[in-house]
Each structure stands twice: as structure tokens, then as C-alpha cells.
């Protein structure tokens, strides 16, 4: 899974594609109260982050796109907090996630 071959400028578009595919599925799982969805979602998120090299450590090539790395990494947590709100859910996380998704989409649209 070498990340060196991937052009970092393609990361926002790939992130948006990933989120566009995952978010409707997440909303459907929340509506159906399907906790099992999130196990697969976490695996897919880890695979996506490994492909781009930011799962374990920051990838300096992606430093220009913090809104996209944050949106991808927060997506499962936000979904779980929507499904099962608890005191552990950070109050501002969902709105920050929405902002990051929007900013990532804006950056991707410029590519």
C-alpha cells in the first residue's frame, strides 16, 4: 500500500467520493438503528486512511487538506453519536464534521 504513487491533489476528490458513498448508507443505518453497520464502516475508513497513508501518522503530503482528513476520520464517530447519543459524544463534533465535509467538497470542486 505505497502512498508515494498517489498524487496528493487527488485526495480531496477521493475523500468526497468516499463520503458521498458512505454518508447515505450511514444515515440509513441510523434510521434503522443498525449498529452493525458501523463495524464495516470502521473497517472501510481504516482501509481508506491506510491507502492514503494517514491512519497511523500524519501524511505531510496531505497537510493542505486537514478538512478532508478530519471529515474521513470523524465520520464513524459522528454516526455512532447520532445513533446512540451519550455524554462521551463531543457536543461540537457533528457541526464541525458537517463544516469539514463542506470545505472538503469545495476544495475537491476546484481540482
Distance CA 61, CA 2 (A): 13
pLDDT at 53: 87
For residue range 17-34, what is the model confidence (pLDDT) as tens digits?
999 999 999 999 999 999
Tell me the domain boundaries of the chain.
8-109
**pLDDT-flagged residues of the chain (< 50):** 1-4
User: What DSSP letter does each residue of 31-97 carry, written as one string?
Assistant: HTT-TTHHHHHHHHHHHHHHHHT-SSS--GGGTT-HHHHHHHHHHHHHHHHHHS--TTS-TTHHHHH
What local confidence, expressed as pLDDT, does residue 54 receive? 83
Amino acid at each position: 500500500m505505497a502512498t508515494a504513487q498517489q498524487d496528493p491533489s487527488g485526495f480531496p476528490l477521493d475523500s468526497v467520493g468516499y463520503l458521498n458513498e458512505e454518508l447515505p448508507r450511514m444515515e440509513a443505518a441510523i434510521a434503522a438503528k443498525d449498529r452493525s453497520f458501523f463495524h464495516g464502516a470502521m473497517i472501510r475508513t481504516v482501509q481508506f486512511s491506510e491507502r492514503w497513508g494517514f491512519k497511523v501518522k500524519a501524511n505531510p503530503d496531505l497537510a493542505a487538506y486537514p478538512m478532508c482528513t478530519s471529515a474521513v476520520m470523524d465520520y464513524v464517530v459522528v454516526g455512532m453519536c447520532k445513533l446512540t447519543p451519550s455524554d462521551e459524544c463531543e457536543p461540537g463534533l457533528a457541526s464541525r464534521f458537517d463544516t469539514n465535509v463542506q470545505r472538503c467538497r469545495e476544495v475537491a470542486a476546484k481540482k
